[in-house]
Amino acid sequence: MLVAWACLSAPAQAERPTERYAGEQLRYAESELERARQALAGGDYVLARRLARQAGLDARLAWGMTDSGGIRRAAAELSEESARLSLNAQQLLAQ
């Protein structure tokens, strides 16, 4: 009887409300990063830097929205890539 009571009183492991949107947030970050790459290739370094920074923020948001190791790894990689692209655009602007 004690075990049954413990099971009833223990909170169910519920999915966080944001969990279901993490994948979509990551896809949005990937899209922003792709637009940043295109802007960089087109010589619009200001736009490329802005889009890369936004992609990094969106990736970090996706990371925080989930406990999924796969999404978190992808978000961390995307965040690092966006930081590199932003730095590259900044260096090109300084020339």
Identify the structural domains of the chain with CATH numbers, from first to last: 20-94 (1.20.58)
Supply the pLDDT for residue 93.
93
Condensed to tens digits (0 to 9), the pLDDT of residues 19-60 reads: 889 999 999 999 999 999 999 999 999 999 999 999 999 999
Supply the pLDDT for residue 17.
76
b (16+ CB within 10 A) / e for 17-39: eeeeebbebbebbbebbebbbeb
